[in-house]
A and B are shown apart, each in its own frame.
Chain A
Amino acid sequence: MTGPNIRSLASSSEPLDDTADVVFEVEGLNVLYGDHRAVGDVDITIREREITAFIGPSGCGKSTVLRCFNRMNDLIDIARVEGSVKYHGIDLYDPQVDPVAVRRRIGMVFQKPNPFPKSIFDNVAYGPRVGGQRSGLDEVVERSLRSAGLWEEVKDRLDTSALGMSGGQQQRLCIARAIAVNPDVLLMDEPCSALDPIATGRIEELMKEIQNEYTIVIVTHNMQQAARVSDRTAFFTAEVDAHSGQRRGKLVEFNETGTIFSNPDDERTEAYVTGRFG
């Protein structure tokens, strides 16, 4: 039932620039939690100033792959990453690379809005402050809140707690907070799954607005969302490994969003986007 809708949503009118600079070049990526291989053999290329969507059923490893892009998996003791993730040609897992420096260039917005228990101002200023910035914070905060479309709503109560905002506002605050450190990539891990449709619509508009400044990778459970906002879509699925009997996520197909939703190469993709599976 969702099939025709999605197909009409995905706009393939503008051809994508296949020569755009590559931001992430992923080759043979495997993520292991202890002995369990959560994701196997992912190859994918993320291009500059595009919105790339990761879709697929729960447990297919799409969030896990996303978290390799800014080394958030480092925070999980038992997680191990194999293969190469190149960011503008530099291997992110090179021993000389500092994950803190990586995360300042590659921001992240999480599934559940997670504002700090501080004022709205201090939330947005947090990144610049830990980066050592002491002056000009007023401008940074205003610019970031404006970019996130939140300035008009909160400009008179910047010193009140961020926890008093609505869920949608909190998530836009988290986007403003991520923007404030001037990253060139934004990773979004199901940013709308805790939001109502109106708040979701605002986040999607926002993504379109900031697309010309940032490269965005978004994980979403919502296929319509992927169709509406993304330029390219990667479809992941989970398969049971014949040897170990464990579920392992893998990348099935990666293509322009219009193609994924209207004319996918793989029948598993077809089944998923038309709602016959997952």
Chain B
Amino acid sequence: MPAPTQIRLDQLRRRKGADVFGQVFLLLLLTSVIVAFAMVGSVIWDVLVEAWDLISHDIWNFVSSASSSEASKAGVAQGIRGTLMIAGIVILTFPIGIGSAIYLEEYADDTRASRLIQVTVRNLAGVPSIVYGLLGLAVFAKSLGGLTGGSSVIAAGLTLAVLVLPVVVITAAEAIRAVPSSLRDGAYGLGATQWEVVKTQVVPAALPSILTGTVLAIARALGEAAPLLVIGAVGFYTTGNNDFVEQLQGAFTALPMNIANFARLPADTWRGHAAAASLVLLALVFMINLVAIIARSRISKRLGR
């Protein structure tokens, strides 16, 4: 009969320095987190400080009046309107991106052609925005000028929609791919058609992640200044763009344009305008984010997760 196993505390004792690499790694991770937050935080802090004078005095005037040659009267109302209209147009094109993703993931066979399309979409997501600006100028502002009215908010909205379309397709496709196949099997096993499986299982289950992707896309679209510059956005316009069609087809501006313009003006009198306009843009993006987060949590709750 073997002797009973004897264990001394020494054999199990915590040793000093046994996990040095683990500790160093953890420290590096924490440093990364701190640096990342510090960088983002300092940018926002800087903008806040810069803009504080202006927004604390007369924020309402700033967001409600058009730009002006007089610093004290200048505001970003036209920019806000342009940015919101662009957001609307971009959102209207999301179904195209989500539809493409559904087709690629659920319907298309895994052929060389469909793989080529997927790779192309991925590459398109990496194309610099100024290139899309040139495309927008050529296609939406010039070739389709009769429809869009030339350098208009429609042309800009469509250009930015094309810019973020690959991102929408990729994130939606990834969301759809993440839907467990057991849900599809379960539904097919009960005699559901492919359309019913997509409608009642795949899309509802993927929707929260799709929403996240589209919000990132919107945020990117609204922050772009380069394509707007190429298409021909103005700093501010004076013609009376009163009815809706005129607003869509006429001269336009957007918040990134306002920011760029303010930043070029002499800083002694135009102090804080660019920063304040940046804050307005940030606030808009945050609000869109908030709406998406609320929508996401509602959907998730309905799905019981």
Contacts and interface: CB of A to CB of B under 8 A. Distances in A.
Interface of A: 70, 72, 75, 77, 100-101, 103-104, 107-108, 110, 112, 114-119, 126-127, 130-131, 160-164, 174, 177-178, 181
A101 B201 contact: no
B192 A100 contact: yes
Contact of B183 (A77, A100, A114): A114
Contacts of A164: 304
Contacts of B110: 77
A115 B186 CA distance: 8
A108 B192 contact: no
A72 B189 contact: yes
Given A100-B191, A108-B189, A75 B304 contact: no
A104 B196 CA distance: 14
B200 A75 contact: no
Contacts of B204: 117
B205 to A, nearest CB: 6
Contacts of A107: 189-190
B271 interface: no
B279 interface: no
A60 B186 CA distance: 23
A100 B193 contact: yes
B187 interface: yes
Given A114-B183, A116-B187, A130-B193, 17 more contacts: A70-B189, A75-B188, A100-B192, A107-B190, A108-B189, A110-B185, A110-B189, A114-B180, A114-B186, A116-B201, A119-B304, A126-B200, A127-B192, A130-B187, A130-B192, A163-B305, A178-B190
Contacts of B183: 114, 116-117
B116 interface: no
A92 B152 CA distance: 59
Nearest to B186: A114
26 contacts: A70-B189, A75-B185, A77-B109, A77-B110, A103-B191, A107-B189, A108-B189, A110-B189, A114-B182, A114-B186, A116-B183, A116-B201, A117-B183, A117-B204, A117-B303, A117-B304, A118-B304, A126-B187, A130-B191, A130-B196, A130-B200, A160-B304, A161-B305, A162-B304, A178-B189, A181-B190
Nearest to B300: A117
B296 interface: no
A101 B109 CA distance: 23
B303 A131 contact: no
A162 B186 CA distance: 14
Contacts of A104: 190-191
A107 B184 CA distance: 14
Interface residues of B, number: 23
Contacts of A177: 186, 190
A247 to B, nearest CB: 23
Nearest to B303: A117
A174 B189 CA distance: 11
Among A118, A163, A177, chain B packs the most CB atoms within 10 A around the CB of A118
A15 B222 CA distance: 76
Contacts of A100: 191-193
Contacts of A114: 180, 182-183, 185-186
A163 B191 CA distance: 22
Contacts of A161: 303-305
Nearest to B181: A75
Nearest to B191: A104
Interface string B195-214: 01000110011000000000
A68 to B, nearest CB: 14
Nearest to A160: B304
B186 A116 contact: yes
Interface string B263-305: 0000000000000000000000000000000000000000111
B185 A103 contact: no
A79 B193 CA distance: 19
Contacts of B303: 117-118, 161
A101 B180 CA distance: 24
Interface string B121-151: 0000000000000000000000000000000
A11 to B, nearest CB: 31
- Can you list the 7 inter-chain pairs with the closest CB atoms, starting with the nearest? A161-B304, A104-B191, A114-B182, A127-B190, A108-B189, A117-B303, A103-B191
Interface in B23-37: none
Contact of A103 (B182, B190, B201, B205): B190
A114 B184 CA distance: 10
Contacts of A127: 190-192
A163 B200 contact: no
A140 to B, nearest CB: 13
Contacts of B188: 72, 75, 103
Contacts of B304: 117-119, 160-164
A164 B301 CA distance: 13
Nearest to B195: A130
A126 B305 contact: no
Nearest to B305: A117
A164 B305 CA distance: 9
